[in-house]
Amino acid sequence: MVQDVELKVEGLKKYFPIKRGIKSVMKRESPRFVRAVDGISFEIRKQQIFALVGESGCGKTTTGKLIMKLIEPTEGRIFLRGQDVSHLKSKEENLRYRKMVQMIYQDPFSSINPRFRVYDVLEEPLIIHGIGNSRSEREEMIHHALELVRLTPPEEFVSRFPHMLSGGQRQRVAIARTMILNPEFVVADEPVSMLDVSIRAEILELLRRLRDELGLTYLYITHDLSTARYFSDWIGVMYLGRIVEMGEVDMVIDNPLHPYTRALLEAVPEPEPERKEIIKSLPIKGEVPSAVNIPDGCRFHPRCVYAKMGLCDTKHPEMIEFERNHYVECHLVGKI
Amino acid sequence: MLLRVTDLKTHFFTTRGVVRGVDGVSFTLEKGEVLGLAGESGCGKSTLGYSLIRLVPPPGRIVGGEIELDGLNLTSMNENTFRREVRWKRISMIFQGAMNALNPVYSIGYQMMEPFKYHTDASEDEAKERIARHLELVGLDPEIVSRYPHELSGGMKQRVMIAMALLLEPDLVIADEPTTALDVIVQAQIINLLKKLKKELGLSLIFITHDLSILAEISDKIAVMYAGKIVELGDSEIIYENPKHPYTQKLLAAIPRVHERVDKLEFIPGAPPNLANPPPGCRFHPRCPYAIKICMEKEPGKEVLDDGRVIYCHNIPR
Ligand SMILES: Nc1ncnc2c1ncn2[C@@H]1O[C@H](COP(=O)(O)OP(=O)(O)OP(=O)(O)O)[C@@H](O)[C@H]1O
Ligand SMILES: Nc1ncnc2c1ncn2[C@@H]1O[C@H](COP(=O)(O)OP(=O)(O)OP(=O)(O)O)[C@@H](O)[C@H]1O
Ligand code: SF4
Ligand SMILES: [Mg+2]
Ligand SMILES: [Mg+2]
């Protein structure tokens, strides 16, 4: 059964201007930009989990913030259930959007106010959105949210301060705060990367259960391909502000087409001690260029071991659907 | 044998009680061997590392046990001798989060000079030559000595920290989460580098991380810690292929693997204990599915299995 499209993003761009010194302004140098997100398009079907992976600084969080509408896009459009939400004008529209779309932040240690008790942490969004008519109604919602994330019995947890919780419990409070508004769509920005394996597994299981029970749709941002494979249905691989490969998660991971995806997969550590003497050969060269000076042609070409000069360094490759539900942006696809 | 640690105890004397960070740990390490130290956050991995180099932060203190390096008793040695003869020269440590500890106002070269000032009588030229050589060893261009930390990427800074730990050519390096903040490609480069140093220099390494996949890539032996104690210790192949301790089994089952599709990840319900007041008996018993009556009453003793592994458990699952 093909599900409806929940979220769609079209040609999204975010350029951050670089602050210029007075000298550079006087010399009338043209302003320079960090091209954090540089023209990405994808869609996420209802109740699916779309993983956005890629190395540090490639633009994952910026994409998440654009979807959350915490920052304005430089170009491009965002649709939620077919409705263009790129520029919400009225305050009511904005508030409604902020209730439907929620974000789980990366760091469970700093995303919760340390002076708030768990109760206050969860009541705050209800008050902001004017939900619950009485204190007892809100209390019931708070208890329900805590039960949802298995912080039970709720009475035990409501009066605790964050420092009285373990890392995994804190992250569950953060998730409860996200879920209490009954969102449709959740951006989960590295929700488990700070946690160790056992808690990580627990939180991912929880998020998946909430997806099934509440019918949620997620954008899962991570640099960890193993959890991406385990947790998501679709995956987009980002490099320097663009999605270079995208598709059903099993197809992309079992049959990576883009040289960058291949390098990423090659680098993932596997719990196989037989390989401990082997020095891995990584099919990638050099360091990531800065998002201020993006290379011409294919932006991956200076690091690509397959790059064909005269083509890859001059012409930007178009995204093509190489096989059903598997897209890639590379001149040499199918030839390497 | 390079290192022998016997019944080591390091406790923190806080106003709210004694926190037993390391509580009776024993292991040995051969020259050229890599020991991987794994376990959940707060189980005492860093405290063990700090104890070996005798830099336990106050209010912590080594309160029992022995550390021997090449037959030399490090626990009874006076601090002056230890500083002159051992720290950085024979044992060095790459601290957790160290790359962020590089001082932003000094150049890389200036910061790399420091160890020479305190620990050797090398001339400035000798020191510079050695710095250049070690930067090359970790795959960095020696000209970066004139750069400042903010001009380097995370992976480059981490390589500077590794070069610094190697400068005085120690026998043993303790690497505390050296790759945790880095993405997979840089991480793989650093692991490759450490493998190369092990091969070429015969370096002994204690590699600390909570990420068991990374440990598999590099360790000869694995020690799994829980609540201040080692619960299982053995050859890494043996531990990975056939974990016996219930805690090790759970820990390994919680790892998602990129090349396989798993339907459900295991996790360990509950939280690790408070080390100021650990549970009696086996410290893992409140979370252990195999716990029997004796687990709640008596601490499990050391048992050596036929395959050479050491395990502490009353009811080893079959
Ligand atoms: N407010 C800002 N002003 C200027 N540049 C920015 C701003 N926010 C992000 N950037 C830059 O945009 C690029 C993408 O950043 P982003 O935070 O989206 O990366 P990321 O993929 O989430 O990385 P990480 O995995 O490290 O979290 C980086 O080069 C970053 O330095
Ligand atoms: N200075 C200190 N004062 C009091 N307790 C401390 C101090 N330093 C560490 N501890 C406690 O000692 C125990 C072991 O801490 P340690 O830092 O060794 O853990 P770890 O295994 O390295 O954890 P992580 O994976 O989070 O780095 C923890 O319970 C910690 O709270
Ligand atoms: S000793 Fe008992 S409680 Fe501890 S791990 Fe073994 S079976 Fe579980
Ligand atoms: Mg980010
Ligand atoms: Mg530590």
Q: Quick one: average pLDDT of A22-26?
A: 72
- Tell me how crowded residue A105 is: count the other CB atoms within 10 A of its CB: 18
CA B172, CA B202: separation in Å to the nearest integer? 10
| Ligand number nearest to the C-alpha of B186 | 1
Q: Quick one: average pLDDT of A6-33?
A: 84
> Does residue B285 contact residue B279 with C-beta atoms inside 8 Å?
yes
Which residue carries 């043996």 as its tokens?
B238
- Go through the domains of chain B in sequence order and give each one's CATH number: 3-90+170-312 (3.40.50.300)
Nearest CA in chain A to B209: A196
Q: Which two tokens stand for residue A11?
A: 């040609």
Q: What percent of chain A has pLDDT over 90?
A: 62
Cα–Cα distances in angstroms (integers) from residue B198 to residues A69, A125, B93, B134, B204, in the given order: 49, 53, 15, 14, 7
Using only C-alpha atoms, chain A has a radius of gyration, in whole angstroms, of 22
Q: Which two tokens stand for residue B48?
A: 């063990």
Please give the single-letter amino acid code of residue A292. Answer: V
Contact A271 B210 (CB under 8 A): no
Residue A121 has pLDDT above 90, yes or no: yes
Residue A263 has pLDDT above 70, yes or no: yes
Edge-to-edge strands of the sheet including A5-17? A33-45, A5-17, A75-80, A83-84
For residue A58, list chain B residues with Cβ-Cβ distance below 8 A.
none
Please give the pLDDT value at position A63. 96
Edge-to-edge strands of the sheet including B91-94? B91-94, B172-176, B204-208, B34-38, B221-226, B229-235, B310-311, B303-304
Nearest CA in chain B to A229: B258
CA A156, CA B48: separation in Å to the nearest integer? 34
For residue B192, list chain A residues with Cβ-Cβ distance below 8 A.
279-280, 282
Residue B218 has pLDDT above 80, yes or no: yes
| Ligand number nearest to the C-alpha of B280 | 3
Please give the pLDDT value at position A90. 87
Q: Which two tokens stand for residue A9?
A: 């993003």
B295 lines ligand 3 (CB under 6 A): yes
- The yes/no answer to whether this complex scores an ipTM above 0.85 is no
**Which DSSP helix (H) or strand (E) runs through B34?**
strand B34-38
Beta-strand (E) ranges in chain A? Answer: 5-17, 33-45, 49-53, 75-80, 83-84, 101-104, 185-189, 217-222, 234-239, 242-248, 320-323, 326-328
Please give the single-letter amino acid code of residue B205. Answer: L
Long-range contacts of B160-163 (CB under 8 A, 24+ apart): B160/B99, B160/B102, B160/B108, B160/B112, B160/B135, B161/B94, B161/B95, B161/B98, B161/B99, B161/B102, B162/B94, B162/B138, B162/B190, B162/B193, B162/B194, B163/B112, B163/B131, B163/B134, B163/B135, B163/B137, B163/B138
pLDDT class for A2, splitting at 50, 70, 90? low
Strands A185-189 and A101-104: parallel
CA B47, CA B55: separation in Å to the nearest integer? 9
CA B297, CA B285: separation in Å to the nearest integer? 10
pLDDT class for B186, splitting at 50, 70, 90? confident
Please give the pLDDT value at position B251. 92
CA A185, CA A182: separation in Å to the nearest integer? 9
Centre of ligand 1 from the C-alpha of residue A67, in Å: 15
State the closest ligand 2 atom to the C-alpha of B19, by its place in the atom list counted from 1: 5
Q: Which residues surround ligand 5, an ion (CB under 5 A)?
A: B 46, 96
Please give the pLDDT value at position B247. 96
Contact A269 B196 (CB under 8 A): no
CA B1, CA B3: separation in Å to the nearest integer? 6
Better pLDDT: A301 or A113: A301
Q: pLDDT tens-digit profile of A152-184?
A: 889 889 999 988 887 778 888 999 999 999 999
Q: Quick one: average pLDDT of A16-43?
A: 83
Q: What percent of chain A has pLDDT over 70?
A: 98
Cross-strand pairs, B35:
B206, B221
CA B171, CA A226: separation in Å to the nearest integer? 35
CA B222, CA B240: separation in Å to the nearest integer? 9
Q: What is the reported pTM?
A: 0.88
Eight-class DSSP state of B147: S
Eight-class DSSP state of A269: -
> Does residue A264 contact residue A237 with C-beta atoms inside 8 Å?
yes
**Could you say which of B192, B255, B258 has the minimum Cβ distance to residue A197?**
B255
Please give the pLDDT value at position A322. 96
Centre of ligand 1 from the C-alpha of residue A59, in Å: 6
In the predicted model, what is the mean pLDDT of chain B? 91
- From B283, B287, B311, B313, give the residue whose CB has the most ligand 3 atoms within 8 Å, as the site to mutate: B313
> Does residue A231 contact residue A49 with C-beta atoms inside 8 Å?
yes
> Does residue A80 contact residue A101 with C-beta atoms inside 8 Å?
yes
From B212's Cα to the closest Cα of chain A, the distance in A is 7
Please give the pLDDT value at position B301. 95
Torsion angle in degrees (nearest 10) through CA of B302, B304, B310, B313: -50
| Residue B128 CA, distance from chain mean position | 29
CA A305, CA A311: separation in Å to the nearest integer? 14
CA B25, CA B44: separation in Å to the nearest integer? 10
Q: Is B40 on the interface with A (CB under 8 A)?
A: yes
Q: Which two tokens stand for residue A172?
A: 């569950």
Q: Which two tokens stand for residue A88?
A: 């919400």
* Residues in chain B, total: 318
Nearest CA in chain A to B217: A276
Q: pLDDT tens-digit profile of A123-161?
A: 999 999 999 889 999 999 999 999 888 888 898 899 999
- For chain A, the maximum distance between any two Cα atoms, rounded to a whole number of angstroms, is 69
Q: pLDDT tens-digit profile of B116-146?
A: 877 777 888 999 999 999 998 888 889 999 9
Edge-to-edge strands of the sheet including B72-73? B17-29, B3-14, B60-69, B72-73
Q: Is B299 on the interface with A (CB under 8 A)?
A: no
Contacts of B178 (CB under 8 A, 6+ apart): B94, B158, B161, B162, B190, B194, B207, B209
Cis peptide before B59 (omega within 30 of 0): yes
Q: pLDDT tens-digit profile of A214-242?
A: 999 999 999 889 999 999 999 999 999 99
Eight-class DSSP state of B87: B
Contact A269 B184 (CB under 8 A): yes
Contact B216 A230 (CB under 8 A): no
pLDDT class for A113, splitting at 50, 70, 90? confident
For residue B211, list chain A residues with Cβ-Cβ distance below 8 A.
197, 269
Q: What percent of chain B has pLDDT over 90?
A: 62
